[in-house]
Amino acid sequence: MAKKDGGLRFQPSGGTRAPQVPVGKKQKLGIERLANDGRGIAFVDGRTWFVSGALPGEQIEARVLGAHGKVVEARVERIFTASPARREEPCVHARTCGGCSLQHMPHADQLELKQRMLAEQLSSLADIQPETWAPALVGPELAYRRRARIAVRWDAKARQLQVGFRAAGSQDIIAISECPVLVQPLQPILRALPGALQALQKPQAIGHVELFQGDASAVLVRHTAALGDSDLALLVSFCRGHDAQLWLQGADEPQPFDESHHLGYRLDAWNLQLGYRPGDFVQVNAAINQAMVAQALDWLAVKPGERVLDLFCGLGNFALPLATQAREVVAVEGVAAMVERAARNANANNLDNVHFFQADLSNPLLGAGWSDGGFAAVLLDPPRDGALQAVKQMAGFGAKRVLYVSCNPTTLARDSAELRQQGYRLTRAGILDMFPQTAHVEAMALFER
């Protein structure tokens, strides 16, 4: 005789798990509002959908890119009812390429979105707002990008080289016939590049290609195996035909094919020329970079007798212009090779009052020889993870003014809270539209004791 069931039932503590939304599924959605990154937000069956390419008030069909728990990431597939604010994308590849996510949004709305994102991060994470909001620093919304990385992949099954940009939400490569955000000198190179690479005898040796524009155009070819003479000759001919330098990179640092070739860019307002090499950090938007440096110097208002500290100085993008105003500039960078090139840039521009040092800026800085004597002002331009260790020591430098250039509002907000603990107040802040057509937010903030 079977044992009688006592009536006790056990279930997993989380209850019944809802089935996951499969990648590729199509779903009709009504978009209610925008997320901080510009994606439309919709709600269906207890899930929150984040939809690239959608605007509030639209009725759309979305294709699922991925799902995690109650969050679904998707991209617009069809638009049934469009928002009055929607505009036709300037690029024919906008809905497939992963490079630009806001081309369907008027530029003024993009700026408003970025301003709101910065304000919300400062408010929610640091409970702080600037005493004055500066107008957005803006430039051309197209033809601004002076650097681009081109994806290359050898399809062994099809025996074909794929060349283009990564697709949105995947590793697929989208063949690109045009890119309106590239500066004009790079656009014909981009159009002709796939044909040149596909004509190589050993195209599978190509890892990726990068394009640069400064005082010259340049093509960097990253190769994973040695290039044969015929393939090298083809690349040389291609670059000469486009009046571009050829740079090659195997296992070591990038090298110019012609040793006489050099790359650089100008900061015209200060009559400065800065040299760089592929792989060095250079701001992608030349017009905004010039305006950004000018605004930084205006806000800091350095006097001729003052000593200034520039942290995360790179090639000297801020340090060299600052040296035209200050008694002395001390500039510190973590990458030794960039410190060497920055020092060469100072020497080439006949600036002997700027001194460059290499240091790990995630470590304590006070007590280093270069920090002795204090500073009237400090400028920081850190990477996305911010400058928390540096700002924790800010009061020790004695600076009355701190200018923070940020490429991540979240870490700027975190570091702003720390600066307030150090006795500084946020007197001015504003966005820098370094990357039009994207949700990427750059900002500048001035703190004063």
Catalytic residue numbers read 407
Six-digit token string for 396:
């020790």
User: Which residues pair with residue 405 across a beta bridge?
Assistant: 444
> Residue length, the chain?
449
CA–CA dist 438, 433 (Å, integer)? 9
One-letter amino acid at 448 equals: E
Six-digit token string for 156:
């062994």
Collapse the DSSP code of 56 into the 3-class scheme (helix H, G, I; strand E, B; otherwise coil) and give the result. coil
Three-state SS sequence of 94-108: CCCECCCCCCCCCHH
Six-digit token string for 233:
């000759």
Collapse the DSSP code of 75 into the 3-class scheme (helix H, G, I; strand E, B; otherwise coil) and give the result. strand
Buried b (16+ CB within 10 A) or exposed e, 374-409: ebbbbbbbbeeebbebbbbebeebebebbbbbbbbb
How many helices and strands (H and E) does the chain possess?
9, 23
Six-digit token string for 19:
């089935």
Quote the Cα angle for 36-40-41, to 5°.
Answer: 90
The DSSP line for 210-255 is EEEESSSEEEEEEESSPPPHHHHHHHHHHHHHTTEEEEEESSSS-E
Instruction: Name the phi and psi angles at 266, rounded to 5.
Output: -105, 150
Of 326, 330, 324, 334, the C-alpha closest to 309 is 330
Contacts of 204 (CB under 8 A, 6+ apart): 154, 156, 161, 225
* Residue that has been written with the tokens 């505009």 in this structure: 87
